Chains A and B, each alone.
Chain A
Amino acid sequence: MRPVGVAGLGLLGAVVFVAAFGPVLWGDQATVVDTGNLLAGPSAQHWIGTDNLGRDLFARVLVAARLSILLALAATAISLVLGIVLGAAPVLVGRRTGRFITSAVNVLVAFPGLLLVLFFAVVFGVGARGAALAVGLAGAPAFARLCHTLVAAVSERDYIAAARIAGVSRIRILLRHVLPNIAEPLVVNATMAAGGVLLTFAGLSFLGLGVQAPDYDWGKLMQDGLNGIYVHPLAALGPGIAVVLAGLAFNLTGEAFAAAPGRVRPLGPARGPSVRTAPVPGAVLSVDDLRVTMPGPVHAVRGVTFTVGEGEAVGLVGESGSGKSVTALAVAGLLEPPVRVEANHLVVAGEEDHRRLGTSLAVVFQDPMTSFNPAHRVGPQLAEVSRFHQGMSRRTAFARAVDRLRAVRIREPERRARQYPFEFSGGMRQRAMIGMGLMGNPRLIVADEPTTALDVTVQRQVLELLAEVRRETGAALLLISHDVSVVTDVCDRVLVMYAGRVVEELPAGDLRARARHPYTRALVAAVPDLETDLDRPLAVIPGLPVDPMSAPAGCAFAPRCPLADDHCRAVAPPLLAGVACHKTAEVRV
């Protein structure tokens, strides 16, 4: 935990202790009337002086902690509960009434909080209870707004729909499914709000609307001390400091909670390249012993060596977690610390530095919805590449962008270049993305699942476009896909990855019938096509994929492999003659 969190929790602990035991420990001291010391200044006996009855102010500040904190917590609780009820209205009372309540809340949020507090304080009358209600009600709209947003996000989840279909009542859905899943941010927010509420309360008591004599909280003490502020400033400042400290305690604790999730142990420094090797001559992409480690540590890629020749199309196949996409990102130089990338060499078009993206290297990502900035027009986003890398003027770069959009067969490229990404369909966006890669003169195109998010009919067009671009520019292609049929359609050569390693390398034409690794064969057999035998069950791969946190010492596929023996489980097979398996002799081709 960071120092801020430690300080916050320590402070909160102290505040809670004082609130719990203050009246017991210092209660008597706070009520002792010392007529010889009326309105005295600070002394060794009375650290911050005495009040108009000669009572010790320091003791009174400590004793006041309980009432101040309790009132703040009560008001926060009122805000929270009311906020949850109002915010969850769309779940509880249905869409139409819910929309009305949400609008009402939105109007209330627009009112200044203090105005609401004063309004309610007058309505409920002066006194501690009235003030708690006033502050609680005034805080409710903000919580309701937050809650509404959180609830809306959770309500979209399919498990809520499933619960509705299963006949679970609305209240039970709220209590069992919605609230537990939004509790974390709500608690964090409530903690921070409690700090603010404390301040508001002090303000109300200070104005005389809050706690009334003979009770006293920090606000009341401040009000009492204000009369003598020029003579004995500490009498007013003392309770003020208490408010600040308690408020800080709440806020810092909230901050610490808010920052807590998602923190992982950072990786140690890279060991440094053990060996430097020379790239394979004539290859557009040459990678030797690529290792990628993510914080955790997760060994996503565990020693991958391959090349892509000039103009060649190489496919990288594997299931989720096999490390294929991470390999692609490492090739594109898009991985940054805390992810650690090591290799004996990783050379694209003769260059080893990471500035190759946009010039000799183009990347097409999976999700055409997120690969463009939605706030900018498509043309300028393409043009930016040439302005940055080739130093073109705005006008020439835009002209090239239009030309490139035409090259990826987007109709009316002049008009389309002036449109925003949302005006493009998914397939068109993916074309435009390829067009962006063609702004430079790419020698290698890395396409990471470029058609996975697209419909079959559009998928076909994008694959054809990639093939056409390769024919025209002579660029090589590294195609990453989980789809065996896409890879066999497009590529010359295929690398099959499992658990961060290449387990087999073979010509694409051999993938279906002549694969030698048991995993490759199982992977191909598991996909039904339009000729699959309908009378037999589909082939399946038993067991579970490897947990990348704990990759085994031997062959990673051994636990799922029908041929595996103790040797397989103990010794990792090297990639020999295109296959990494001890049992290739036993696999009948």
Chain B
Amino acid sequence: MSVLSFHEVSVRYGAHTVLNGVSLEVPAGRTVGLVGESGCGKSTLARAAVGLAPVTGGHILLDGRPVPNRGRRPVQMVFQDPYSSLDPRMTVGESIAEALPERLPKKARQAEIARLLALVHLDAARAGDLPGRLSGGQRQRVALARALAARPEVILADEITSALDVSVQGAVLNLIRDMRRDLGLSMLFISHDLAVVRYVADHVAVLHDGEIVEQGPTARVLGDPRHDYTRHLLAAALPLKEQT
């Protein structure tokens, strides 16, 4: 159970500023939603925390210490595209085993893979399948199991349901809520969908043009938005006919 905190984090590519002094805290055992439009820097913030994007200013700390960006990270990430996040030539079991922190004998490894698959509500028999045999929702659950295999302190979920069909999205969102309840994981849940964020997150932060314009408890931010941009986002999420 750990606290992931971003202090004045900036990310620049040449003259192009993606993130500008972003401060955000993911408290222990809590889910923080990060919303914003495409290109606002949501994914970059998550990628910076695991060393996939260069931090040009500020610090990202895990329990007060810098997040290591070599070796197995205590912060794990789940990606948006279920069709690109699993190696098509490795079985589900192999993909998960790769993220395990220690080399286990075969029996123990299989038991651990079965345990992780059970956590994401998948049958242990799936371990022998190649990703090609799985649906998008099942792949996303395997990706979650792989992230859990590394025994993370914090999980970063980057638009993990936006590429899924609605009937599958529900199952993944339920799983995220179950995992927070049962495992007490801290999570940064990135999404452009306010209704989805409202369903899973305790806190929500609104990112606009690389800066956080508003953050607070989900019910407060969505119920009584204080920044114009948050109101703008909320208005867009409401049905068209109810507005007019």
A319 contacts B37, CB within 8 Å? no
B84 to A523, Cβ gap below 8 A? no
Q: Which of A458-493 contact B (CB under 8 A)?
A: 458-460, 463-464, 482-485, 488-490
Distance between Cα atoms of A17 and B85 in the complex (Å): 44
Question: Taking the complex as formed, is B104 at the interface, i.e. its CB lies under 8 A from any CB of chain A?
Answer: no
Q: Within residues 132 to 148 of chain A, which ones have a CB less than 8 A from any CB in chain B?
A: none
Q: Are B79 and A457 in contact (CB under 8 A)?
A: no
Tell me how far the C-beta of A163 lies from the nearest C-beta in chain B, rounded to whole angstroms: 6
Interface string of B108-146 (1 = CB under 8 A from A): 000000000000000000000000000110000001001
- B238 near A165: Cβ-Cβ < 8 Å: no
A526-B166 in contact given A161-B52, A166-B76, A489-B239 (Cβ < 8 Å):
yes
| Contact of B3 with A by CB under 8 A | no
Distance in Å from the Cβ of A86 to the closest Cβ of chain B? 23
| B167 engages A459 (CB within 8 Å) | no
Q: B171 at the A/B interface (Cβ < 8 Å)?
A: yes
Taking a contact as CB atoms under 8 Å apart, the answer to whether A165 and B52 are in contact is yes
Cα–Cα distance between A457 and B238 once the two chains are bound (Å): 11
C-alpha gap A532/B147 in the complex (Å): 28
Give every chain B residue within 8 A of A541 (Cβ-Cβ): 167, 170
Alpha-carbon distance A544/B90, docked complex (angstroms): 22
Residue of B whose beta carbon sits closest to that of A159: B87
**Nearest neighbor of A321 in chain B, beta-carbon distance:** B165
Verify if A549 is at the interface (C-beta below 8 Å from B): no
Contact segment of B16-24, B26-34, B56-64, B229-237: B229-237
Closest to A485 in B: B239
Tell me the B142-162 residues at the A interface (CB within 8 Å): 143, 146-147, 149-150
In the complex, whether B203 has a CB less than 8 A from a CB of chain A is no
**Interface hit among A71-79, A175-183, A302-310, A382-390:** A175-183
* Chain B residues positioned under 8 Å from A180 (CB to CB): 87, 89
Contact residues in A for B51 (Cβ distance below 8 Å): 164-165
Distance in Å: Cβ of A79 to nearest Cβ of chain B: 24
Complex CA distance for A539 and B169, rounded to whole angstroms: 10
Given contacts A159-B84, A544-B135, contact A523 B237 (CB under 8 A): no
**B237 x A456 contact (CB < 8 A):** yes
A-B contact count (CB 8 A): 146
Residues on A with C-beta less than 8 A from B99 are 162, 166-167
Which stretch in B4-12, B188-196, B209-217 binds the other chain?
B188-196
Give the contacts of B91-110 with A (CB-CB under 8 A): 95, 98-99, 101
Given contacts A457-B37, A526-B170, A530-B222, contact A319 B87 (CB under 8 A): no
Q: Is the CB of A488 within 8 A of B165?
A: no
Indicate whether A167 sits within 8 Å of B135 (C-beta atoms), given known contacts A157-B84, A532-B198: no
Chain B nearest CB, measured from A541 CB (Å): 4
List which B67-99 residues lie within 8 A (CB) of chain A.
70-73, 75-77, 79-81, 84-90, 95, 98-99
The one of B38, B79, B193, B194 in contact with A162, judged by C-beta atoms closer than 8 angstroms, is B79
Among residues of B, the one whose C-beta sits closest to the C-beta of A531 is B195
Pick the contact of A526 from B86, B90, B167 — CB < 8 Å? Answer: B167
CA distance A472 to B111 in the complex (A): 65
Which residues on B sit within 8 Å (CB–CB) of A459? 236
Cα A165 to Cα B174 with chains together (Å): 25
* Distance from A539 Cβ to chain B, minimum over Cβ atoms (Å): 6
Known: A523-B167, A534-B199. A158 touches B85 (CB 8 A): yes
Interface size for A (C-beta < 8 A) is: 48
Q: In the complex the two chains form, is B98's CB within 8 Å of A168's CB?
A: yes
A165–B167 CB distance below 8 A: no
Select A538's contact among B84, B86, B88, B174, beta carbons within 8 Å: B174
> What's the Cα separation between A526 and B77 when bound, in Å?
25
**Assuming A530-B237, A532-B198, is B166 touching A484 (CB within 8 A)?**
yes
Docked-complex contact B169 and A489, CB < 8 angstroms = no
Contact A167 B195 (CB under 8 A): no
Question: Does B65 lie at the interface of the complex (its beta carbon under 8 Å from any beta carbon of A)?
Answer: no
Contact bitstring A147-163, B, C-beta under 8 A = 1, else 0 = 00000000001110111
Q: List A contacts of B15 (CB < 8 A).
A: none
Interchain CA distance A490-B236 in the complex, whole Å: 14
Q: Which residues of B contact A157 (CB under 8 A)?
A: 84-85
**Interchain CB contact under 8 A, B166 and A482:** yes
How far, in angstroms, from A539 to B199 measured CA to CA in the complex? 13
For A456, give its contact among B37, B84, B198 (CB under 8 Å). Answer: B37
Q: How far is the CB of A183 from chain B (nearest CB, A)?
A: 9
Using A166-B99, A456-B237 as known contacts, say yes or no to A540 and B195 having CB atoms under 8 A apart.
no
From residue 523 to 545 of chain A, which have CB atoms closer than 8 A to chain B? Answer: 523, 526-530, 532, 534, 537-541, 544-545
Q: A161-B47, A165-B73, A537-B174 are in contact. List 6 more A-B contacts (CB 8 A).
A: A165-B52, A165-B77, A166-B98, A181-B88, A181-B89, A530-B234
**15 A-B pairs (CB sep. < 8 Å):** A158-B81, A159-B87, A162-B146, A166-B146, A167-B71, A167-B73, A177-B90, A460-B236, A489-B240, A490-B240, A528-B173, A530-B195, A532-B198, A540-B167, A544-B135
- The 4 A-B residue pairs whose C-beta atoms are closest, nearest first, are A167-B72, A166-B99, A538-B170, A489-B240
